Each structure stands twice: as structure tokens, then as C-alpha cells.
Chain A
Amino acid sequence: MTTLSETVNAIHPTSQAFYEQWEQLEPTQTPMGIARKPAMDSFAQLGIPTTRHEDWKYTNVAAQFKTGLTDITNSTSNEIDASQLNLFPFLKANRLVFVNGHFSPTLSDVIDEAEGLVIGSLAQYNELGHMALRDNYNSLANNYKEAFSALNTAFAQDGAFIFVPAKTEVAHPVIILHVTTEGSQGVINSRSLIVTGRSSRLDVIESHQYLGNDTALGNQLLEIVVGDNGLVNYHKIMTDANIGKHVGNLVAKQGNDSRFNTYVVNLAGQLVRNNMVVDIDGKNSEAGFYGLYSLDGVSQVDNHVTVKHNEPHCESHQLFKGLLNDKSTGVFNGRIYVKQDAQKTNAFQSNKTILLSEQANTYTKPQLEIFADDVKCSHGATMGQIDQTMVFYLRARGLDEAQARAMLNQAFAADVIEKISIEPLKEWLLNQLTQQLTR
């Protein structure tokens, strides 16, 4: 029988140091501490997925581990100049900033206050033993099947913790900003948890910023619990130049009469994997998934969405659009699962891609698994080039070819951004998109 250490070692030549590093983490009796050992066992079983794994067919993430699996959260400096960051100054918002996985109290700023409302560091509230954290931490993560979840749970030391008590509407959005500095190597495992109570409301904007071309891989896991009759709008924004290496797992569960929307906008990303798994566990609830990936260079964005309809009378919408230039690659894999009892489900899915270059690649895979018999479900995927008759129409009115193409690309991509309800964020993103398309 092989030991855990030996199994881990087989995953990667530098894994011994990685394993020793894990052993040094304090095995506390906190929620985070308790979860580490089973997660590490699971990670040792699973290993880093290769492209032979169906879910990772187009994204060679193993190649990103040449610099090792070592978690660098504690080894790098978190001193940073705020002027290097996009703190979304156009938004009045709460800000939680993490530099290489460390919470930065100086860069963070919480403006909303309410009885019981928590907007802060997961590590701190883990120590304090916050009740909602105890009840919900690691309750959604699929560590037994998802290697990156397991890795994250085994190592994670900090991230955001947001608790919104019942009947509380958080007035301003919460921006969670993850900064990765130049020269950082290995992996940053950051972990966040959001729990919202009955009839509450929260807007979250998560942004990943990479300060340089040589950075660690961000392995991020976010769990969101949406309470009955609650509303959570989650935005994930990556607009920096083409430098990031990022695997993000979002796992969420919704209660009765709840609404949960995700808006994922990638205007950059060297290698980005967005996994989203949402369980609709309450009746009469709605989930929306809106994604835009407008890419150039050698960027690759791989979106995997799974929505599980577990209860009747619910609705879900998926709309993902790709605009792929140069040698970029876009992947969309959307799965709708409708349980036998989830009658009267309405679930829709659409993936549209425009290829702007002959070297760009797109892969799309819609999956419907329906076990109920009274449902309305649809999926569709289109891919193609810009319609020349449209270009001619615009040119015949005085726009040159570049202007015409930029206008058509913008129109194609903008309708995803238009769905965002935070007006200043929407305007800023439309502007960023215009800049990208007219570069």
C-alpha cells in the first residue's frame, strides 16, 4: 500500500516539497482545518487533470504546473502600490483586496454596515467560528471529483467571507479583488464563501488582476448560498492584458423563490477556466448565466456551466458569446440537468461565436440531461464569421471597413454586457470592449 506522500509525489516531480508544505499547515479544529485532510486524500487520488479527461479536453492545465504545485500564499510579499490596481474607482462599493492570497486591510474598504452583516476575511471569521461559516464552509465544493476544488480545500488559507443576514439588502456592490504579483510562481489557492439569508440582496464583483507576465496560477474556489426569496448578482471581470493563469470554481445553491445571476466577462486571459455549478434546490427560482469572452493573442477561455434543476417551477438561462481573434481559443460546455421531480422547468442555453481570424478556435458542447417529462428546454450553438452583407450595408453609408467591423463586433458582444444591472460597471465594460475592438 502506497502512502499519501508517495501518491502525491507521483503527480509531479516537485511534489515532495508541496506535500511537506501541506503537512506544515496547522491542523486546527476550525472548519477550514478540518476539511484539509480529506481534501488532500482526494487530490492525491484525482491528480491534475490532463487533456485525456473529457472535461479538460481543450485546456492543457497540467502544462501550467511546470513551476510546481507549491502554494505561495505565505511566501510572497503583499506590499503593493494601490496605483497599480484597477480599484473600480467609478463605483461606490465595498472593497476586499487580496494580494497573492493575503487579505490587505489597507487596500480594503467596507462602507456598508448592517446588523449581522459581514464583509471581510475568511481566515478571520474561520478563527472566530462564525456560525454561517461553520454551517456552510465546504458544503458545496465537489472535492471528490474536482481536483482543483480538492487542492484548494487542502491548502486554502484566506479569501472573502460575506454573510448577509435575512431581510438585509447590501446597498453597494462588494468588489473582491485578487491581485497576483509579478514573479510569483506556483499556485495561489484562494477561497471565498458567500452566505445570504432569506429575502436579502447582494451584488458581488470579483476581479482578477495580474501585475506582470510571470505569475502564479490562481486556483480559486467560491461557494455561494442564496437564501429563500433572495437575489445575488455575481460578476466576474477579467479585462487585463493577456497574462493571467486562472482556474475558478464557482459552486452555488439556491433556495425557494430565489434569483441568482452570473455575469462572466473575459476580455483577456492567457489561460482561464471558469467552472460554474449551480444547484437550484428551491421551487420557483431563477438562475441566469451570461458570459462574454472577447479574446486575442493566444488567450484561451474555457467556460463550463452546469445548472441542476432539482425542484419544479424553476427557470434558467445561459447565454455565452465568444469573439475570437488571432490565435485565441474559446470553449463552452454547458450542461442542463433536470431531475425527475423538477416538472415545469424552463431551461435555455445558447452559445454564439464569431471567429475573426482563421487561426482562432472554438469548441462548444451543449448537454441536456432531462428526467422530467413536463419541461421546456432548448439549446443552440452558432459559429461563423462576420456577415459581409452587413459590412457592405454599413460601408454604403460611409463607414470604412474597420469601423463597420468594429461596430458589428461591438453589437454582437455588447448584448451580454447589457444584461448587467450595475449601470456604471456596464458603461465601463462597454467602453473597455470598444477600446479592445478598435485597437
Chain B
Amino acid sequence: MLTIDNLHASINGKEILKGFGLEVKPGEVHAIMGPNGTGKSTLANILAGKEDYDVTDGTVTFQGKDLLDMAPEERAREGVFLAFQYPVEIPGVSIANFMKASLNEVRKHRDLQPLDAVEFLKVMKEKMRFVEIDEKLMRRAVNEGFSGGEKKRNEIFQMAMLEPTLSILDETDSGLDIDALRIVANGVNKLKNENNAFIVITHYQRLLDYIVPDFVHVMYNGRIVKSGGKELALELEAKGYDWIKQEVDATV
């Protein structure tokens, strides 16, 4: 589904990704962990198409297509979804209006008829129950005045609406209380099937108690330095990242 090969990227002349590689197949959940400042969010933003970065080398192939060649909206329509670490507040745009426009663009791309108001409302209510989000929130402006937990749940709600093929969760768990974390994780688990895949970027192991990954990768200094199964996450939680840093720094 997704092949990232030898990806190098920099921002303002500073290299952040230094030969990042990853292969994701349908039905898989990959966790990317690592200390702060190792390029985890940069990776997420580059996959979503944020234009502030210069990709200097490497390729990203999504379902046989060159992902880096697509505009952000094309990626979204093709089925790539980024749950933002810091969802933006958009005053004046209601979630319902926003999601209707968004969903219908995605449907158009998939040669599906746009949903009318009644059909849309039905889908929206169903997905709202799914992420245990208050219906009142839907009439409010996107993320405006939302608590941290509400913002993150809103991201998962949007994910449920758009039914992406590849979802990237960028530290969706940071700053969440245990209830919000459970809701977010339940949302992901219910959406998971053999045709889609998830990349879960996190700083803490806690989320992985709820979303069980098939693979855990440790990212350090712009690339993956260690990969393993879900037990690697537990080891990291117990021992921290210093032993990984030492291992890597010793080999350089």
C-alpha cells in the first residue's frame, strides 16, 4: 500500500529526515515511536503534503502512485488521512458544512454520487455515535473553543466520515485523559479492517495498550533505527530511549 524509500527532507536548510524507509501493507498497524525532535511529525506532515518541507531525496509510493507528486487535496481524495497533532481552529465554518463539502469531494473522486442533506445527516449522526461525540458540537465552528480531547475526537470523527485507506495519527494520544484515549482508540479499532492501514505516531506506550500494533518502529535522528513487534513498545516504556540512542550513537 505504502512504500517509503530512503526519504530525505529538510526545512529551512536543516535536514530532518535522513534516509527514512517504511513498508505498510493493507490490514497493518504500524507504531512509530521515538524521542522528541527525531522527525516523527515531519514525516506525518510530508505524507499529508504540507509544503514547508523540501524533499531532497527518496520516494513515497502509495497504491502504485507517486504520493509526493500529488497536491494535499489529491492525497486526501486518494485515501490518505492525517489526524493532526494540533488541529486548527476555523472560526465560522461549522463541522457539518466542512464535512459535507469534504466528504462529497472524496466521493466524487471515487465516482460516487454526492450525498444530499438528509443522507449526509444520517451518516454524520452514525459516525458521531461511533466516536461518542456530542451532536451539539457539529453545529459549532471547527475546533473553535474545543477542549484538547474534543479536538482529537473531532479528528477521529473526520477519519470515520472519510473512510481513508491509510490513516496517520500524529500524537493523537498526547494530552488525552484516559476516557478520551479509550474513545479515540475504540474509534480506530472499529475502523480497522483488512483493506486499510494505520500509522500511529506516539511518544508514549499508553495508546498501544488500546491500539495493538503489528509493528513498532523506533525513530531517531531522522530514520528508523529499530523495529520489532508490540513487545518493543513495552521495552521502551520500561527502559526509555537512552539505550537506543547509545546503541545508535556507538555504531556511528
- CB < 8 Å neighbour of A398 from B51, B88, B97, B102: B102
Cβ B101 vs Cβ A393 within 8 A: no
Tell me which of B19-27, B76-84, B201-209, B238-246 binds A.
Answer: B76-84
A389-423 contacts to B (CB < 8 Å): 389-390, 392-401, 403, 407-408, 410-412, 414-415
- CB < 8 Å neighbour of B101 from A396, A407, A415: A407
Cβ A398 vs Cβ B76 within 8 A: yes
Residues 95-113 of chain B: 1 if any A CB is under 8 Å from the residue's CB, otherwise 0? 0011101110110010000
Instruction: Report Cα–Cα, A410/B141, bound state, in Å.
Output: 13
Cβ B92 vs Cβ A393 within 8 A: no
A contact face: mostly helix, strand, loop, or mixed: helix
B158 interface residue per 8 A CB criterion: yes
Instruction: Report Cα–Cα, A247/B162, bound state, in Å.
Output: 51
Q: Tell me how far the C-beta of A41 lies from the nearest C-beta in chain B, rounded to whole angstroms.
A: 50
Interfacial chain A residues near B72, Cβ < 8 Å: 392, 395-396
Interfacial chain A residues near B73, Cβ < 8 Å: 395-396, 398-401
Cβ B92 vs Cβ A399 within 8 A: no
- CB < 8 Å neighbour of A407 from B71, B76, B81, B93: B93
Instruction: Report Cα–Cα, A285/B73, bound state, in Å.
Output: 50
Q: Tell me how far the C-beta of A173 lies from the nearest C-beta in chain B, rounded to whole angstroms.
A: 26
B90 interface residue per 8 A CB criterion: yes
Cβ B87 vs Cβ A396 within 8 A: no
Q: Tell me how far the C-beta of A292 lies from the nearest C-beta in chain B, rounded to whole angstroms.
A: 13
Q: Tell me how far the C-beta of A8 lies from the nearest C-beta in chain B, rounded to whole angstroms.
A: 50
Known contacts: A400-B71, A400-B73, A411-B91. The answer to whether A394 contacts B162 by CB under 8 A is no
A36-50 contacts to B (CB < 8 Å): none
Instruction: Report Cα–Cα, A387/B141, bound state, in Å.
Output: 16
Residues 168-193 of chain B: 1 if any A CB is under 8 Å from the residue's CB, otherwise 0? 00000000000000000000000000
Cβ A396 vs Cβ B93 within 8 A: no
Q: Tell me how far the C-beta of B73 lies from the nearest C-beta in chain A, rounded to whole angstroms.
A: 5
Cβ B105 vs Cβ A408 within 8 A: no
- CB < 8 Å neighbour of B88 from A393, A399, A407: A393
Instruction: Report Cα–Cα, A387/B75, bound state, in Å.
Output: 21
B48 interface residue per 8 A CB criterion: yes
Q: Which residue of B lies closest to A414 (CB)?
A: B92
Cβ A395 vs Cβ B92 within 8 A: no
Interfacial chain A residues near B92, Cβ < 8 Å: 408, 410-412, 414-415
Q: Tell me how far the C-beta of A156 lies from the nearest C-beta in chain B, rounded to whole angstroms.
A: 41
Interfacial chain A residues near B139, Cβ < 8 Å: none
Cβ A408 vs Cβ B93 within 8 A: yes
B34 interface residue per 8 A CB criterion: no
11 additional contacts (CB under 8 A) given A399-B105, A401-B73, A408-B92:
A392-B72, A394-B90, A395-B49, A396-B49, A396-B82, A397-B98, A403-B105, A407-B98, A407-B101, A408-B90, A411-B141
20 contacts between A and B (CB under 8 A): A387-B88, A389-B88, A390-B90, A392-B51, A393-B84, A395-B71, A396-B72, A396-B75, A396-B81, A396-B84, A397-B76, A397-B158, A398-B73, A399-B101, A399-B102, A400-B105, A407-B93, A411-B92, A414-B92, A415-B92
Sort A-B residue pairs by CB-CB distance and give the 6 closest, nearest first: A411-B92, A398-B76, A398-B105, A395-B72, A397-B102, A393-B88
